[in-house]
Chains A and B, each alone.
Chain A
Amino acid sequence: MKHSGNRAFLSGNAAIARGAWEAGVRFAAAYPGTPSTEILEFCGTYAEIDAQWAVNEKTAMETVIGACYGGARSICAQKHVGLNVAADPFFTVAYTGVNAALVIVSADDPGMHSSQNEQDNRFYSMMAKIPMFEPSNSQEAKDMTIAAVKLSEEFDTPVMVRTTTRISHSEGIVSLGEREKAPEREFVKDMAKYCVLPHNARRLHGKVEERQKKIAELGCKSPFNRIEEGDKSIGIIASGISYCHAREVFPNASYLKLGLTYPFPAELIKKFAASVEKLIVIEENDPFLETEVRALGISCIGKDRLPICGELNPDIIHESLKELVNLPMPATTPKATVDIPVRPPVLCPGCPHRGVFYTLRKLNCTVTGDIGCYSLGAFAPHNAMHTIVCMGASITNALGIEKAMKEKIHGKLVAVLGESTFMHSGITGLIDTVYNKGRHVTMILDNSITAMTGHQENPASGKTLKGEPTKVLDFAAMCRACGISNVHTVDPFDLKLLESTLKEALNDSEPSVIITRRPCFLLKNYKPRVRLVSINRAKCVKCGMCWKLGCPAIEVSPEDGKTVINSALCVHCGLCAAVCRPGAITQAKEEA
């Protein structure tokens, strides 16, 4: 980490990890997910924090719960949808409470920069009755993580820190402190506290409600919930990034800036509302604060004017509340009048997934998909993924489709998912498929890393988060143990074998699994042998076979419509040579 004296320029995620370190956190676990991933990566850079990648968010949550029971101050971090996966233990740890502190980070993604939905996880804190901090910048991300550790031990409760993409991935100046020495604690058997059997749980629920009241009172005095006096004609209630955006548009208004947002500091809200003429609640996505304000019988401007969908920014706030703003909208430079082609992400040159989609499309399969780099297979020119719901859903979606369509779909249906996703939540679906006599094909694309989120180690990589060697999961044995009789393992660059294996598997009357094995091309220590690929353009007949690969290095010449290989991008994987029937593109026999 970059430090200059006692200040550093940190992302919200780095600041959370720093806060955890300063607060004496000893244990951290998570499954990666944008925008929360780097929190664990940064935790892992501190020698004093034992940080680990879990197989999914539920196992991460349960492990940190165990660690805090065991006396280590602990943290877990997940993207918003990750908390859905971890929701079961999340709700119940609110009842048992902690021993050493437990901080649970939820990183939401308004605007869905890299997510499948825009759920507002502030409601989780309310539903689980777990107190929640919402930082507005990196400094607060650090400060609130430290405060969360304190609050957790003071009230024997897990505490949530909720960020959004713009907090997690924006950087700002943070002042640094020393690491606190946490008191020694260990697990003490206490059945009444840790076993949520109904008679215990009933009593514990009562305690939770008492705790809620106390923390709400504390929230009215907390330095994180403050009234910033300004012009009284407009009063704004805001938290998180919305506060920062609002400040740009209403620099002189009065503010109630909330940081310890839940349990709602009702008395403070009432006091503030009474002190201003017009009250506006500015928040991203759902009316979380606004609903509470209205429940207190206070009228306000909110989602009647501000959008629910998407990220907020100063421009949107200004536009939505125009007549209340004293500043003019900034004059802009007009956009160019020419069409500007979009530039969505694409599978990298040399990506091991490319041949899989080429083959699936060639055989005109119906493909239930999943989430990972390979989700790009849904886009042109592949067009070879037809459902994407959530992690792990590919296999069970396929099972459902075949239950509905029976012989109409038999022999055509393939579930496609990555190895990280398979371990996360695909295994249970595979057992379901065998048990309930499905017969679709499952393809596990094993590139030995969790690539989509920026290359995190997983049980297929043979390395832990801290870089230590560990056991590698044997996927073929795993699938056989689930009851799959026909498990095939192929190199996805061997297009002929891939195609014949897929044909065979589709005709199988039992469910089968094809594991495609080849490392992600961007893996740091992956140095595949290179045999040079070149094109003899005289032989190119513009058949377009190579275009179907969707390789960024393959271009269509605007002059003659023939293929050009962009030598700056080509990594000589050889796929295009394999599909080029006229023999215009060829690959050298010898290594370069």
Chain B
Amino acid sequence: MTTNILLCGVGGQGTLLASNLLAECAMEAGFDVKKSEIHGMAQRGGSVVSHVRFGERICSPIIRKGECDILLAFEELEALRWTEYLKPGGLVITNAQNILPMSVSAGNAVYPKNITQILAGMSVQTIAVDAIGKARELGNQKCLNVVLLGVLARRIKEVKPEIWPEMIKKMLPPKLQELNLKAFTTGWNLA
């Protein structure tokens, strides 16, 4: 069995750290893991996506359309962009945040309304969380990524719960650990 998780968002939201932590935890749990993402132009506020795959043996680092188990969207419009990758009945977790692309802020395109409802109308399961609100409550919106990781982690039965905080401690510098451990627990209990 292979588990496929796609993380998507906007450059600068911290999807990379979340996908790194996820991959390291899956590795710690004993799986073969591959992860793929495109750097480069994406840095400057463009769409970003990371593919994370784990299981007994992983060949291609890329998730096929229709084979993604969980889509973790850091931004609502980005959730819509990647639904094709979800398997029918798959899960989409969205952060209730809208970041306007330049075409929208300049008034040349429209940001779709009611994205959570559009998603709910597809043959997928949806979880919408105000992770950005929670991150701000924790005093630093940068920990949005780890709040979302917490929401995701609870749905990944293949990785034992204690592995997550262990790896957060192992991979983050000491001064960021407390905040991120809190962020993780907040996410875990959020939905």
Q: Is B104 at the interface (CB under 8 A from chain A)?
A: yes
A436–B164 Cα distance when bound, in Å, is: 65
Residue of B nearest to A568 (CB): B141
A308–B56 Cα distance when bound, in Å, is: 32
Chain B residues with CB under 8 Å of A173's CB are 27, 32-33
Q: Is A198 at the interface (CB under 8 A from chain B)?
A: no
Determine, out of B109-117, B154-162, B176-184, the stretch whose residues face the partner at the interface. Answer: B109-117
Let me know if A341 and B101 touch, CB within 8 A.
yes
A9-B33, A172-B33, A345-B43 known; A336+B112 contact, CB < 8 A: yes
Residue in contact with A561 in the complex, picked from B28, B61, B80, B107, CB distance below 8 Å: B107
Residue of A nearest to B65 (CB): A332
Q: Is A554 at the interface (CB under 8 A from chain B)?
A: yes
Q: Is A166 at the interface (CB under 8 A from chain B)?
A: yes
Residue in contact with B107 in the complex, picked from A7, A376, A556, CB distance below 8 Å: A556
Q: Is B83 at the interface (CB under 8 A from chain A)?
A: yes
A329–B112 Cα distance when bound, in Å, is: 30
Per-residue CB proximity of B138-173 to A under 8 Å, as 1/0?
000100000000000000000000000000001100
Residue in contact with A340 in the complex, picked from B58, B81, B141, B171, CB distance below 8 Å: B81
Let me know if A34 and B33 touch, CB within 8 A.
no
Determine, out of A240-248, A297-305, A384-392, A582-590, the stretch whose residues face the partner at the interface. Answer: A240-248
Residue in contact with A336 in the complex, picked from B45, B61, B118, CB distance below 8 Å: B118
Let me know if A137 and B34 touch, CB within 8 A.
yes
Let me know if A556 and B105 touch, CB within 8 A.
yes
A315-B65, A552-B105 known; A2+B123 contact, CB < 8 A: no
Residue in contact with A245 in the complex, picked from B27, B37, B60, CB distance below 8 Å: B60
A114–B112 Cα distance when bound, in Å, is: 28
Per-residue CB proximity of B19-37 to A under 8 Å, as 1/0?
0100110011000111111
Chain B residues with CB under 8 Å of A315's CB are 64-65
Let me know if A338 and B105 touch, CB within 8 A.
no
Chain A residues with CB under 8 Å of B47's CB are 342-343
Q: Is A407 at the interface (CB under 8 A from chain B)?
A: no
A9-B23, A244-B61, A331-B87 known; A345+B44 contact, CB < 8 A: yes
Residue in contact with A341 in the complex, picked from B27, B45, B66, B109, CB distance below 8 Å: B109
Chain A residues with CB under 8 Å of B28's CB are 4
Per-residue CB proximity of A561-582 to B under 8 Å, as 1/0?
1000010100000000000000
Let me know if A333 and B106 touch, CB within 8 A.
no
Residue in contact with A345 in the complex, picked from B24, B41, B61, B103, CB distance below 8 Å: B41
Q: Is B11 at the interface (CB under 8 A from chain A)?
A: yes
A-B contact count (CB 8 A): 185
Residue in contact with B45 in the complex, picked from A335, A348, A558, CB distance below 8 Å: A348
Residue of B nearest to A330 (CB): B66
Q: Is B131 at the interface (CB under 8 A from chain A)?
A: no
Q: How large is the interface on B (under 10, 10 to 19, 20 to 34, 35 or more residues)?
A: 35 or more
Q: Is A170 at the interface (CB under 8 A from chain B)?
A: yes
Q: Is B77 at the interface (CB under 8 A from chain A)?
A: yes
Let me know if B11 and A345 touch, CB within 8 A.
yes
Let me know if B60 and A247 touch, CB within 8 A.
yes
Residue in contact with A333 in the complex, picked from B20, B87, B100, B170, CB distance below 8 Å: B87
Q: How far is the CB of B129 from chain A (nearest CB, A)?
A: 19
Q: Is B122 at the interface (CB under 8 A from chain A)?
A: yes
Q: Is A373 at the interface (CB under 8 A from chain B)?
A: yes
Q: Report A248-299 residues with CB < 8 Å from chain B CB.
A: 248
Let me know if B105 and A555 touch, CB within 8 A.
yes
Chain B residues with CB under 8 Å of A169's CB are 36-39
Q: Report B39-72 residues with CB < 8 Å from chain A CB.
A: 39-47, 58-62, 64-67
Chain B residues with CB under 8 Å of A556's CB are 105-107
Q: Is B14 at the interface (CB under 8 A from chain A)?
A: no
A4-B28, A170-B34 known; A342+B62 contact, CB < 8 A: no
A341-B103, A552-B102 known; A245+B62 contact, CB < 8 A: yes
Chain B residues with CB under 8 Å of A314's CB are 60, 62, 64
Q: Is A347 at the interface (CB under 8 A from chain B)?
A: yes
Q: How far is the CB of B142 from chain A (nearest CB, A)?
A: 12
Let me know if B84 and A339 touch, CB within 8 A.
no
Q: Report A307-347 residues with CB < 8 Å from chain B CB.
A: 313-315, 329-336, 338-347
Let me know if A172 and B34 touch, CB within 8 A.
yes
Most buried by B among A34, A331, A343, A345: A343
Chain B residues with CB under 8 Å of A332's CB are 65-66, 84-88
A330–B2 Cα distance when bound, in Å, is: 14
Let me know if B107 and A338 touch, CB within 8 A.
no
Per-residue CB proximity of A103-145 to B under 8 Å, as 1/0?
0000000000110000000000000000000000100000000
Chain A residues with CB under 8 Å of B59's CB are 244-245, 247-248
Let me know if A330 and B87 touch, CB within 8 A.
yes
Per-residue CB proximity of A151-169 to B under 8 Å, as 1/0?
0000000000000011001
Chain A residues with CB under 8 Å of B107's CB are 547, 556, 558, 561
Per-residue CB proximity of A187-214 to B under 8 Å, as 1/0?
0000000000000000000000000000
Chain B residues with CB under 8 Å of A547's CB are 106-107
Chain B residues with CB under 8 Å of A453's CB are 40
Chain B residues with CB under 8 Å of A114's CB are 38-41
Let me know if B24 and A346 touch, CB within 8 A.
no
Chain B residues with CB under 8 Å of A376's CB are 44
Let me know if A555 and B36 touch, CB within 8 A.
no
Q: Report A357-383 residues with CB < 8 Å from chain B CB.
A: 373, 376, 380-381
Let me know if B84 and A34 touch, CB within 8 A.
no
Chain A residues with CB under 8 Å of B118's CB are 336, 338
Let me know if A333 and B62 touch, CB within 8 A.
no
Let me know if A373 and B44 touch, CB within 8 A.
yes
Let me know if B61 and A343 touch, CB within 8 A.
no
A245-B62, A343-B101 known; A454+B39 contact, CB < 8 A: yes
Residue of A nearest to B79 (CB): A336
Per-residue CB proximity of A546-558 to B under 8 Å, as 1/0?
0100101011101
A344–B103 Cα distance when bound, in Å, is: 9
Name 6 extra pairs, CB < 8 A, besides A114-B40, A333-B86, A348-B44: A4-B27, A165-B38, A172-B58, A330-B87, A343-B101, A555-B100
Which are the 8 A-B pairs with shortest beta-carbon distances?
A114-B40, A330-B66, A332-B66, A345-B44, A345-B46, A341-B109, A170-B61, A247-B59
Selected A-B contacts with CB under 8 Å, 21 pairs: A2-B24, A35-B40, A169-B37, A173-B33, A245-B60, A247-B59, A248-B59, A331-B87, A332-B86, A333-B122, A333-B123, A333-B124, A340-B80, A341-B101, A343-B101, A343-B102, A345-B41, A380-B106, A380-B108, A381-B106, A454-B43
Q: Which residues of A contact B (CB under 8 A)?
A: 2, 4, 7, 9, 34-35, 113-114, 137, 165-166, 169-173, 241, 244-245, 247-248, 313-315, 329-336, 338-348, 373, 376, 380-381, 453-454, 547, 550, 552, 554-556, 558, 561, 566, 568
Q: Which residues of B contact A (CB under 8 A)?
A: 10-11, 20, 23-24, 27-28, 32-47, 58-62, 64-67, 77-78, 80-81, 83-88, 90, 100-112, 118-119, 122-124, 141, 170-171
